[in-house]
Structure 1
Amino acid sequence: MNFGMVLKYLGILLISEAIIMTPSLFVSILYKGYDINAFVSTIAILFTVGFLAFAVKPKNKNIYARDGFAIAALGWILISFFGALPFVFSGAIPSIIDAFFEASSGFTTTGASILTEVEGLPYGLLFWRSFTHWAGGMGVLVLTLALLPTIGGGSVQIMKAESPGPTPGKIVPKVGHTAKILYMIYFSITIVQIILLMLTGMPLFDSLVNTFGTVGTGGFSVKNLSIGAYNNVHAEVITTIFMLACGVNFTLYYQMIKGNIKEAFKDEEFKLYIGVVLTSIILITINIYGNIFSSLGQALRHSSFQVASVITTTGYATTDFNQWPGFSKIILILLMFIGASAGSTGGGIKNIRILLLFKSMKRELFKIIHPRAVYTVKFGGKVIEEETLTEILAFFFMYIFIFIIALLIISLEGRDLLTTFTAVAATLGNIGPGLGTVGPMGNFSQFTDLSKIVLSLCMIIGRLEIYPILLLLLPSFWRKVNV
């Protein structure tokens, strides 16, 4: 472990957080909110701590794989802690545990909240709350690499540790350039949605924060009733389209820009993702038509929005799907686990893992029929290495194992099974609202501090895809060996 470089990068990360918090301060000043001093104090603390850590001069400037995982795990815990300070300093959320939950939910793009009255917050905090989605969507560390790509070597190790999906990599040879390309695409999508929402009549501020929540697949809204508060069909359609678009692997957009449009649409994960979305929309529409909604158009409108919101792990709502029939709710719960595509801003297990697990299952069945035959698992015409398949199986087991452990701890509160189950599923999968008392019209405020800490860690574990946080628990991980 190269502790000097880990500390140096954590310092850079905190400085970056201070920079991305500055727009929220400007919004607070513009609207003359009571949160101005809270932002000033937090930014000052971030710069001070960040520069002290950055001032470290390590002898070895290389970053190894374990260093990347340490930076990712510790970095996300730190940005969530410091990101919570404006809520605490302003008095909007006096409890540091509640504030940490809210900030963790923001950066991990979960969208779960402990706030019972969102509309009472000052504009600066509302902006910060949603902007954490945008910063965390593509990855705070990736954003740091885009802003400061020349800080030391081994940046690819950091990107691998933070990037979602089983096969993160570089679009172009230089990691800093890759980060810039990803954020250029990300920024362009953001600008387009802001403009389109404004054209529907949505105010500028609302268009900004709702876009941050959509593109970052986060789901924090400035309205207590989420997107449903606007009762704006055009805004809902735009939000649905952009949620689905941001659930797609962003490298496919780069391929399209380079002219490889046909190849992008041939991507197996993309086809599975679209297939799951369309099938879910059709099944839920049939189930709620005539039962919950008398109009087929209304049923299709709300089913498509909620399917897009859940599978991309955004968490916005246009209606109380807690009241839907059991069949529809089961589909939504399954979508919570499936999640979006690898390399997107969404959470969950990811479509590519689900696809490869099914292919592995199919191979094992064929092996029973023809024991002497040699079968391989292919993706995109290429043979998947056994090591990758083993990693996916291990990830799936760890995901379920962590889910069960968290479920047992949360169940100590004695709440109903639906609330307990979906609270863990919604936080580990970075979805946001669950069902029961944590449904779209509820929140997580009623949980104990222990449960809130566990659920906060679930959000960070889910966002970093398990490995970085679990590695922190291994004593051998901290040994000072450059391997």
Structure 2
Amino acid sequence: MENLNLKLIFRFLGITAVLNGFFMWLAIPFSFYFEETDVVLGILNSGIITISLGLLLYFFNKPTNNNLLKKEGYLIVTLGWVTLTLTGMLPYLLTGSIPSIPNALFETISGYSTTGSSILTDIESMPKGILFWRSATHWIGGMGIIVLTIAILPLLGIGGMQLFLAEAPGPSADKLHPRITDTAKRLWLIYVGLTIAQFLLLKVAGMTWYDAINHAMATVSTGGFSTKNASVAYWNGMPLIQYIIILFMFIAGTNFVLTYFALKGKFKKVIQSEEFKYYGLGIFLVTTLVTLSIIFFQDDTLKTSIEHPMVFGRVESSFRHALFSVISVVTTTGFVTADFTMWSYFVTAIFFALFFVGGSAGSTSGGVKVVRHIVMLKNSFLEFKKSLHPNAIIPVRYDGKAVKQTIVFNIISFFILYMLIFIVGTVVLAMLGLDIKSALGACASSLGNIGPAIGSVSPVDNFSHLSTGAKLFCSFLMLIGRLELFTVLILFTPFFWKKN
């Protein structure tokens, strides 16, 4: 412990809390607009408590050394998310919207981790200011408030590269600019720009301004919290709205570096990206398979949610719901237009497999990530070649470049650890009262930050019926899944705490 710069860590947590408190106050105008005066005080007090705590941590912890090492980086990111969660619960608790601490903890960490699982049984009865705060937790967590804070660290004389590497989603953190702070600023400009663009399009397509802003924040962050009990199925009669959300889910699941290149007109770099090709082609192929399964091979014993009197309308509706559901699961957004578990057992199995895919590295999506699957598959094929030519040195190549063996080992280790946690997590949830199908679904969904699952936590159900222990365990899975396992789990290793 002596070699850790604790004052620097606490000061950073203070900055995180202050920013979180100001974000809370953004919900106050919504409560005023919808005449929820009793909610205003709760949100106001939540912000005051959070900002006060942050200021105390900041001003009473002036470090003598501003050098940030990897150890501090891992601690700051993990403790930063714990700080966000513990303070982010306050609006739910102080307004009485979610009076139970375990429930408030679950809903809050589901928001910040952009999982989108919920314990709310009647979303539309919730105060509008609270629902905005609920969507805001997605938006904050999507790119990571840590990255946002990196953009202002130069003002504090603190370098932030270690934090960006620990926080940025995916196996690597591509830089748009030599200076990490400028990278963070560019990422957030893209993030804000996409949110505003989707808000405007959804408003033009027929959503109310309130629903549009909430769904824009939840889509760009690949979160999935909706303002409606039926999620996006509420607008099943308005296909344009769903196609807009499909487009922005796809963009949000794409590496933000590629989005930056596309906005700069460098489309060749986007097209040449190996991960983007597999990401787009995979979604197209699975959507085609699911669409055909819905139309021709649906089990007669299962009732479909895809009904239309005209042949073309039925094909379009089947395609739209299939595409929406596939992208929603692959990008780990979790919005719902139909219950995919009711289409057929075959389709349900396909979607369960998609729980382990994830979006692109460097996106706001969760899961294993497409690039890891590409590298693992290429490495596996190379093992066949090496069996025939044991003395040959054949590196794994990605985007035309040789991948360092250390990165390959890291990716393989990540996947093994991911699957091990999934297996153990499923057993734990079964011990905590879930049937095996629901335990499989809840564990895969929480670890992959997906939202809807299978069993009793299907797209038309929620997590409210879970025991307190199961909710807390799922909350832990959501946290380690959002921070890519190693960032959190390394804190539980004895060598992390040894003196250098």
Do the two structures share a fold, i.e. TM-score over 0.5?
Answer: yes
Aligned equivalent of 1:421: 440
Query: In 2 relative to 1, CA 90–252 (structure 1 residues): closer, same or farther, beyond 3 Å?
Result: same
Match of 1:288 in 2: 294
Does residue 18 (structure 1) correspond to residue 21 (structure 2)? The answer is: yes
Aligned equivalent of 2:262? 256
1:160-175 matches, within 5 Å, as: 160-175=165-180
Aligned to 2:96: 91
Letter in 2 for 1:179: A
Counterpart contact for 2:138–2:218, Cα < 8 Å: yes
| One-letter amino acid matched to 1:20 | F
> What is the CA–CA distance in structure 1 between the aligned matches of 2:417 and 2:156, rounded to whole Å?
33
* Partner amino acid, structure 2, of 1:91: G
1:149–1:334: structure 2 CA closer, same or farther, 3 Å change rule?
farther
1:131 and 1:149, CA in 2 relative to 1: closer, same or farther beyond 3 A?
farther
Tell me the residue number matched to 1:39. Answer: 43
1:148 Cα deviation from its structure 2 partner? 4.7
The structure, 1 or 2, with the larger RCO (C-alpha pairs under 8 Å, 6+ apart) is: 1
Q: Does 1:115 align with 2:105?
A: no
- Structure 1: tracts of 5 or more residues without a match: none
In 2, Cα distance between the equivalents of 1:439 and 1:115?
A: 14
Provide, for residues 217-243 of structure 1, a one-character-per-residue CA deviation record: whole Å limited to 9, x for no partner.
Answer: 000001000000122211001101110
2:259 corresponds to 1:240: no
Q: Which residue of 2 aligns with 1:50?
A: 54
1:4 aligns with 2:7: yes
CA distance in 1, matches of 2:327, 2:393: 39
Q: How does 1:52-451 map to 2 (within 5 A)?
A: 52-55=56-59, 56-231=61-236, 232-290=238-296, 291=298, 292=304, 293=306, 295-451=314-470
CA distance change for structure 1 residues 152 and 398 in 2, over 3 Å: closer, same or farther? Answer: farther
Worse overlay, 445-454 or 151-160: 151-160
Alignment deviations for residues 113-171 of structure 1 (CA, whole Å, 9 cap, x no partner): 00101011101100000111111111110122235543333301111111111111421
Let me know the Cα RMSD of the aligned residues.
Answer: 1.3
Q: Distance in 1 between matches of 2:35 and 2:482?
A: 34
Aligned AA (1:48): S
Q: Secondary structure at the match of 1:35?
A: helix
- Given that 1:321 and 1:440 are in contact with CA atoms closer than 8 Å, whether structure 2 keeps it comes out as yes
The alpha-carbon deviation at position 480 of structure 1 amounts to 5.1
Q: Percent identity?
A: 39
Task: State the secondary structure of the residue aligned to 2:66.
Answer: coil
Deviates more, 1:258-267 or 1:421-430: 258-267
Give a deviation string over 1:298-352, Cα, whole Å, max 9, x none. 2101100100100000000011222121111111111111010000010100000
The structural deviation recorded for 1:59 is: 1.5
Counterpart AA for 1:255: F
- The separation in 2 between residues aligned to 1:257 and 1:149, in whole angstroms, is 27
Tell me the residue number matched to 1:461: 480
CA distance in 2, matches of 1:371, 1:335: 35
Once the two structures are TM-superposed, the CA of residue 69 in structure 1 deviates from its matched residue by: 0.6
Q: CA separation in 2, counterparts of 1:413 and 1:7?
A: 35
CA contact (8 A) 1:64 1:154 kept: no
Cα offset for 1:401?
Answer: 1.6
Q: Would you say the 8 A contact 2:422–2:443 is kept in 1?
A: yes
Which stretch has the larger CA shift, 287-296 or 358-367?
Answer: 287-296
- In 1, the alpha carbon distance for the partners of 2:45 and 2:31 equals 13
- TM-score if structure 2 supplies the norm length? 0.94
Contact 1:427 1:462 in 2 (8 A): yes
**Counterpart contact for 1:150–1:176, Cα < 8 Å:** no
Contact 1:146 1:183 in 2 (8 A): no
Give the Cα–Cα distance (whole angstroms) in 2 for the partners of residues 147 and 229 of structure 1.
40
Q: Contact 1:62/1:152 (CA < 8 Å) preserved in 2?
A: no
User: CA separation in 2, counterparts of 1:205 and 1:144?
Assistant: 27
Q: Deviations over 1:345-366 (max 9, x none)?
A: 1010000000000011011111
* CA displacement, residues 413-467 of structure 1 (integer Å, 9 cap, x when unaligned): 3432221101111111000011121111110011111111110011111110011
What CA deviation, in whole Å up to 9, does each residue of 1:32-63 have, x standing for no partner?
A: 22321221111111111111111111121110
